[in-house]
Amino acid sequence: MRTTLMGILLLLFSVPAWAAKTLDVYFIDVEGGQATLIVSPSGESMLIDTGWPGFDDRDAERIAAAAKLAGVTQIDYLLITHYHVDHVGGVPALAARIPIRTFVDHGPSVETGKEADGLFRAYLHVREKGKHLAAKPGDKIPIQGIDVEVLTTAGEEISRPLPGAGTLNPLCAATKRREADPTENAQSIGTLVTFGKFRLIDLADLTWNKELELVCPNNKLGTVDVYLSTHHGLNLSGPPAIVLALRSRVAIMNNGARKGGSPEAWQVIRSSPGLEDIWQLHYAIEAGKENNAAEPFIANLNGHPDANWIKLSAEANGQFTVTNSRNGKTKTYEPTSQ
């Protein structure tokens, strides 16, 4: 009996302290940019993008407030998906408020000109104060407790299907390619975050053709539980061949009141097989009621900058809960049998 008890105690102490905790993701309202705070069960953090500059450091303040709410005192990894103002512009103001340990990006900017050069220089000035990782397709961001795999970066994508993926995608035949995109959007770092059986995909502002390369002719991604709408729900991204192939149960749209959330993109997401709900950071004013989620699932209404966020908490068994900070609306999605 004593031997058995000792074995149980040793087993308990050998299990990491974070094993029973959740993966928490905060989709922060930066008015049509991106700022997604991911907190691993281990307590390590990764912030994907920093929103806009200016507006009295509005977005940096909102990110810092979310970090405080999450118990985060430093950003362990800041992943900058690409160098557009609504994604990288807030870096200097944020770095003045919270320590940033490691910067992850796709390397040099492909855009030039006064604004592009200024944005990139301002970012580099902050980046040189920390560690730096230039992401490559297939790389893993080394966050304890979760798996974060780089799917796309610098215009390239993973060459081999993810485990369990790789089947022929019949949706490709009906989805036409568009003109090549020469901008930073096509350079976006896209990631897949996995915690046990739970999977969340974020392709940042990756545009139409680059998304097709991930799933055509074969779907190299498989399916996910949660899809963060690409490019804020603009119809420059989100072809049916990828959105429908991902078969997400929940979509989260990081749109603004007058940016993103286009009717075409919203309808594609809505038609995804197996989709249960769309949650939005803003009511898309120009899209009309028929192209918006029901009000309980929208964090910010009527175009007011209320800074309400959406939080997702996932367990290793695949169960996850989504919460709207505006009204306390919470919904739990039970694990699937897959």
- Where exactly are the structural domains of the chain? 19-333
Place of tokens 């994508």: 157
Digit-coded pLDDT (tens) for 224-283: 999 999 999 999 999 999 999 999 999 999 999 999 999 999 999 999 999 999 999 999
Question: What sign does the CA torsion over 89, 256, 195, 188 have?
Answer: negative
Give CA–CA dist 330/312, Å, rounded.
Answer: 10
Got the DSSP string for 158-182?
A: -SSPPTT---B-GGGGG--------
Confidence grade of residue 322 (pLDDT, cut at 50, 70, 90)? very high
- Look up the pTM and report it: 0.93
Q: Please give the structure tokens belonging to residue 4.
A: 């058995």
Q: Do the Cβ atoms of 28 and 36 come closer than 8 Å?
A: yes
CATH architecture of 19-333: 4-Layer Sandwich (3.60)
From residue 102, alpha-carbon distances to 76, 126, 176, 250, 253 in Å are 6, 11, 39, 30, 27
Q: Tens of pLDDT along 26-51?
A: 999 999 999 999 999 999 999 999 99
User: Tokens in use for 33?
Assistant: 């940019």
Nearest of 291, 294, 297, 246 to residue 272 by alpha carbon: 246
2: part of which helix (H) or strand (E)?
helix 2-14
User: pLDDT value at position 305?
Assistant: 63
